[in-house]
Amino acid sequence: MERTLSIIKPDGVAKGLTGEVIRRFESDNIKIAAIKMIHMTKVQAQGFYDVHKERPFFDSLTDFMSSGPAVVMVLEAENVIAKNRELMGATNYKEAAEGTIRKDFATDIEKNVVHGSDSPETAASEISYFFNQLEIISL
């Protein structure tokens, strides 16, 4: 079993897509091991996206991520890191495959509805950024 961190970003929550995104995960046999709604501060968003701090879009991205409530989840399934990224689609929704979350709902390369960890190492560090051990259910 593998775990990954998923975020329904502020645009996704604002558009009322929380239920639809969770439905897609559950339909694909992905289990939710932890879930909560948060509203990140700018500093917390900067900490989360620290790997992108030299990128030109960093300031705008962290403004966006701290602009409203987001839903953070720990997802669990076999190969869930890759599986989640497949369900999400490419970063740029214009390049995302048909039927993916970003293809169906993103409106902007930045406001792309969901985040998913991209490796076992980032999954571990991103999960511990938002959740302590007691908050994660052993499924």
In the chain, the N- to C-terminal Cα span, in Å, equals 10
Distance in Å, CB of 92 to ligand ATP, minimum: 7
Neighbouring residues of 45: CB distance < 8 A, sequence distance ≥ 6: 61, 62, 63, 65, 66
**Is 35 a binder of ligand ATP (CB under 6 A)?**
no
Are 8 and 113 contacting, i.e. CB atoms less than 8 angstroms apart?
Answer: yes
Are 102 and 84 contacting, i.e. CB atoms less than 8 angstroms apart?
Answer: no
**Is 116 a binder of ligand ATP (CB under 6 A)?**
yes
Catalytic residue among 81, 115, 127, 131: 115
Distance in Å, CB of 67 to ligand ATP, minimum: 12
CA-based R_g, the chain, Å: 14
Among 30, 115, 127, 130, contact with ligand ATP (rule: CB under 6 A): 115
How far apart, in whole angstroms, are the C-alpha atoms of residue 105 and residue 24? 13
Among 91, 107, 119, 128, contact with ligand ATP (rule: CB under 6 A): 91
The site map against ligand ATP for 41-80 (x = CB under 6 A) is -----------x----x---x-------------------
Q: Is residue 115 among the annotated active site residues? A: yes
Residue with tokens 């709902």: 105
Residues carrying an active site annotation: 115
Interaction site with ligand ATP (CB under 6 A): 52, 57, 61, 91, 109-110, 112, 115-116, 118
